[in-house]
Amino acid sequence: MGRARAPELPPDLRRTLRRARRLEWLTFVYMASAVILLALVLGSSQAMKTAWIEDLLSLIPPVAFLVAARFNTRGPTRRFPYGFHRIVSIGHLCSALALFVMGAYLLAESVSKLITMEYPTINSVELFGRTIWLGWLMLPALAYSALPSVFLGRAKIPLAEELHNKVLYADAKMNKANWLTAGAAMVGVVGIGFGLWWADAAAAALISLDITKDGVANLRRAVVDLMDQAPTTVDGDDPDPLRDKLASMLQDLDWVEEVDLRLREEGQVYFGEALVVPSDETNITEKIEDALERARDLDWRIHDLSLTPVREVPEPDERGAKEPMG
Amino acid sequence: MRRELFTGCKAFGIMVLALFSLASAGCDFPRDPRSTLEDVRNGTMRVGIVDNDPWTRIEDGRASGAEVELLKDFAEKLGAETSFVQGTTPELLEATRQDEIDVLVGGFTSTSPGVSEGKEAGVTGPYLTTHSVVGVPPGTPAFDDPSDREIAVERIGATAALLKEEGAVPVAVDDLSTAGMPVAAYGWQLRAWGFEPTSIVLPEEQHIMAVPLGENGWLVELERFLRAHRPEAKELLRKEST
């Protein structure tokens, strides 16, 4: 099983993946429409601009997911003997970096607007022969960009958990938090209407702080995953219990005396190796094959495991200890 | 998680409701952070002028020109006096930034450097669109390719820039009506001076005015007035430019 050529996902999860793909396409189309709509009413409100850029940025995770989902299940080739699973982590890194850079930039911009006391100017437009302040038109546009995305985010979270896909998860979280962004931008725009010039920049600073926070959290997760951190659950930094489950399963085999197990995440699935000290070396090849079979049956995420019999396992290190992850 | 989301949606709904009730409650919206509109009403409207005939002129300390007349009408409608401050674009932009001027005019267009970007002052939407036509003096053959031709303009400015883009060579002359060479001017000017218009029509120029940054109530009031007085603006321009 060292070179698992089997597709990543078991049949029922392939259905989940199809649903996730459909939802991501929907997100992409809807977000693109929101970006266009907001661009039409974009004035010089900083909060509005920030909300718009956030919507623009939220196009990246669906694209990253859709691209990654196309490639990650391709079988290994001579050039890529480990397959293409890691493309998911790379997609995660890309979207996290975009989030972080944009958040930091917008934060700096809105704070500087607060410091230099820049007054936001919003024009009026002529609509059906009447002069209407553009600020009023921004409000429904913002509402359109926020409300449906909350439900999209909500629908995507369970799929992300099932698929163990962190790009999808980060995207779902961003969608879910979108109402906050839009709400803050609305407060900023109405603040301008009241003649409170600082309300806008303050709202923008708040939104960008949130974007930056999301960016940093995702960036950290993507980087530590690429650095072969031990697998974590998709929703946080807790170690995945699957590792311990697999270790004790191997330990409990009657021919195994001691086990040393290392796992790492490659996108949605886990790769790793186990060193075992056999108590009985007869028929060792069959025993190893049987153990690998059992490991695979334990969970679909155990994708590529190699098992090596050794005389003794290396000195125990802090790997087994409950250290804080990340 | 579900609970948290539910309260999120509810909070959002309440916020939207609150915003819309606020929006419908007040009709003097948007408001100015520095109360320009309130101060001008029954007070004085301070107008900054950059000399740019026929839009704005200062003669013997008296302001005139199409935009000046238009703003006088606006002041009358608001029951305000007018006071005029003459200066260069950078000087007056600075004064506008300092909120020492309520409205700044000078034949600015949506491409005027320094003004149109809306960085130093807020700008109105375009309230008037004009375009210049190249005309030739009577008895001179017309042409339809401006490349490398010398064409007279009143001064090197926006029109000259447009001519250059067409490949022509703009030349500044004192009086276009007596220039013995092709000129770029408005159609009615050419007719009044007896010039023959050619088929060369320069791109549109969209005219704007500037106000202090962030004075949205004042800006919207001015835009509303300008939109309602487009025909008058055109008429004033014709009168001032012939």
Q: Name the minimum distance, in Å, from the CA of B52 to any CA of chain A.
A: 25
A127-133 long-range contacts, Cβ below 8 Å, gap at least 24?
A131/B220, A131/B223, A131/B224, A131/B227, A133/A193, A133/B29, A133/B30, A133/B216, A133/B220
Query: Which residues lie across from B47 on neighbouring strands?
Result: B84, B103
Q: The tokens of A191 are what?
A: 């603040």
**Tell me, what amino acid is at A189?**
V
Q: The tokens of A244 are what?
A: 């311990």
Indicate which of B206, B216, B219 best probes the interface with A, i.e. most A CBs within 10 Å of its own CB: B216
Q: Compute how many other C-beta atoms are within 10 angstroms of the C-beta atom of residue B118.
A: 15
B147 shares its domain with B181 = yes
Look at residue A255 in the predicted model and tell me its pLDDT.
93
Q: Name the minimum distance, in Å, from the CA of A84 to any CA of chain B.
A: 33
Asked whether the predicted pLDDT for residue B131 surpasses 50, the reply is yes
CB contact under 8 A, A122 and B213: no
Integer Cα distance of A87 and A106 in angstroms: 29
CB contact under 8 A, B216 and A121: yes
Q: Compute how many other C-beta atoms are within 10 angstroms of the C-beta atom of residue A155.
A: 16
Q: Name the minimum distance, in Å, from the CA of B208 to any CA of chain A.
A: 12
Q: Which CATH number belongs to the domain containing residue A312 in this structure?
A: 3.30.70.1350
Where does residue A99 rank: exposed (0-12), middle (13-18), buried (19+ CB within 10 A)?
buried
Candidate from A121, A146, A182 with C-beta closest to B219: A121
Answer positive or negative: Cα dihedral of A208, A210, A213, A218.
Answer: negative
- Given a contact cutoff of 8 angstroms between Cβ atoms, the answer to whether A273 and A307 are in contact is yes
Task: Please give the tally of structural domains in chain A.
Answer: 2
- Given a contact cutoff of 8 angstroms between Cβ atoms, the answer to whether A149 and A178 are in contact is yes
**Is there a domain that residue A236 lies in?**
no
CB contact under 8 A, B19 and A124: no
Contacts of A186 in chain B (CB under 8 A): 15-16, 19
Q: The tokens of A146 are what?
A: 């926020």
**Tell me, what amino acid is at A59?**
L
A253-to-A41, B6, B140 alpha-carbon distances in Å: 66, 47, 106
B78 shares its domain with B99 = yes
**Is there a domain that residue B20 lies in?**
no
Indicate which of B17, B19, B39, B104 best probes the interface with A, i.e. most A CBs within 10 Å of its own CB: B19
B174 shares its domain with B213 = no
Look at residue A3 in the predicted model and tell me its pLDDT.
45
DSSP string, A84-121: STTHHHHHHHHHHHHHHHHHHHHHHHHHHHHHTTPPP-
Where does residue B238 rank: exposed (0-12), middle (13-18), buried (19+ CB within 10 A)?
middle
CB contact under 8 A, A146 and B22: no
**Tell me, what amino acid is at A221?**
R
Look at residue B10 in the predicted model and tell me its pLDDT.
65
Candidate from A131, A135, A143 with C-beta closest to B224: A131
B98 shares its domain with B119 = yes
Look at residue B168 in the predicted model and tell me its pLDDT.
93
Contacts of B24 in chain A (CB under 8 A): none
DSSP string, A180-237: HHHHHHHHHHHHHHTT-HHHHHHHHHHHHHHHHHHHHHHHHHHHHHHTTPPPB-TTSS
A57 shares its domain with A84 = yes
CB contact under 8 A, B124 and A123: yes
Q: Minimum mean pLDDT among A206-215, B11-20, B171-180: which range? A: B11-20
- Given a contact cutoff of 8 angstroms between Cβ atoms, the answer to whether B105 and B48 are in contact is yes
**Is there a domain that residue B14 lies in?**
no
Q: Name the minimum distance, in Å, from the CA of B192 to any CA of chain A.
A: 34
Q: Provide the 3-class DSSP secondary structure of residue A142.
A: helix
B117 shares its domain with B86 = yes
Contacts of B217 in chain A (CB under 8 A): 195
Look at residue A2 in the predicted model and tell me its pLDDT.
44
Closest residue of chain A to B226, computed from CA coordinates: A131
Integer Cα distance of A204 and A184 in angstroms: 7
B120 shares its domain with B212 = yes
Name the residue with tokens 């709400």.
Answer: A183
**Is there a domain that residue A284 lies in?**
yes
Runs of H (alpha helix) within A116-165: 134-163
Chain A interface includes B17 (CB < 8 A) = no
Query: Which residues lie across from A304 on neighbouring strands?
Result: A271
Indicate which of B12, B34, B93, B98 best probes the interface with A, i.e. most A CBs within 10 Å of its own CB: B12
* ipTM value: 0.79
CB contact under 8 A, B33 and A150: no
**Is there a domain that residue A3 lies in?**
no
Q: What range does the domain containing B198 cover? A: 132-203
Integer Cα distance of B36 and A197 in angstroms: 14
Q: What range does the domain containing A29 cover? A: 11-226
Residue closest to A225 by CA, chosen among A169, A297, A177: A169
Contacts of B15 in chain A (CB under 8 A): 183, 186-187
Task: Please give the tally of structural domains in chain B.
Answer: 2
CB contact under 8 A, A195 and B217: yes
Chain A interface includes B212 (CB < 8 A) = yes
CB contact under 8 A, B219 and A154: no
Q: Name the minimum distance, in Å, from the CA of B177 to any CA of chain A.
A: 38
Look at residue A156 in the predicted model and tell me its pLDDT.
93
A34-to-A61, A143, B134 alpha-carbon distances in Å: 16, 10, 44
Chain A interface includes B23 (CB < 8 A) = yes
Q: The tokens of B193 are what?
A: 């001076």
Closest residue of chain A to B14, computed from CA coordinates: A183
Average pLDDT on B6-17 reads 62
B166 shares its domain with B120 = no
pLDDT band at B87 (very low <50, low <70, confident <90, very high): very high
Indicate which of A122, A131, A175 best probes the interface with B, i.e. most B CBs within 10 Å of its own CB: A131
Q: Provide the 3-class DSSP secondary structure of residue A21.
A: helix
A176 shares its domain with A249 = no
Q: Which CATH number belongs to the domain containing residue A189 in this structure?
A: 1.20.1510.10
Closest residue of chain A to B122, computed from CA coordinates: A121
pLDDT band at B234 (very low <50, low <70, confident <90, very high): very high
Candidate from A121, A146, A186 with C-beta closest to B118: A121
Between the two ends of chain B, the Cα-to-Cα distance in Å is: 73
Contacts of A179 in chain B (CB under 8 A): 8-9, 12
pLDDT along chain A (326 residues), means of 10: 60 90 94 91 81 87 90 87 89 87 88 90 86 89 88 92 90 83 88 90 89 90 92 86 94 93 92 93 92 92 92 71 48
B22-55 burial: b if 16+ Cβ within 10 Å, else e: ebeeeeebbbbbbebbebbeeeebbbbbbbbbbb
Integer Cα distance of A198 and A202 in angstroms: 6
Asked whether the predicted pLDDT for residue B74 surpasses 50, the reply is yes
Q: The tokens of A239 are what?
A: 């170690």
* Domain end residue (candidates: A174, A201, A226): A226
**Is there a domain that residue A233 lies in?**
no
**Is there a domain that residue B157 lies in?**
yes
Segment (H or E) for A266: strand A256-266
A171 shares its domain with A301 = no
- The dihedrals phi and psi of A308, each to the nearest 5 degrees, come to -125, 125
Look at residue A316 in the predicted model and tell me its pLDDT.
64
Q: Minimum mean pLDDT among A90-104, A175-189, B16-30, B87-101: which range? A: B16-30
Look at residue A51 in the predicted model and tell me its pLDDT.
84
Contacts of B8 in chain A (CB under 8 A): 150, 176, 179-180
A113 shares its domain with A262 = no
Look at residue A102 in the predicted model and tell me its pLDDT.
83
Average pLDDT on B134-162 reads 89
Look at residue A326 in the predicted model and tell me its pLDDT.
42
A183 shares its domain with A275 = no
* Domain end residue (candidates: A185, A200, A226): A226
Closest residue of chain A to B118, computed from CA coordinates: A121
CB contact under 8 A, B33 and A146: no
Residue closest to B126 by CA, chosen among B208, B24, B58, B219: B208
Q: Strand ranges (DSSP E) for B60-178?
A: 62-64, 81-86, 103-105, 122-123, 128-130, 133-136, 150-153, 169-172
Where does residue A49 rank: exposed (0-12), middle (13-18), buried (19+ CB within 10 A)?
buried
**Is there a domain that residue B2 lies in?**
no
Look at residue A247 in the predicted model and tell me its pLDDT.
94
Chain A interface includes B25 (CB < 8 A) = no
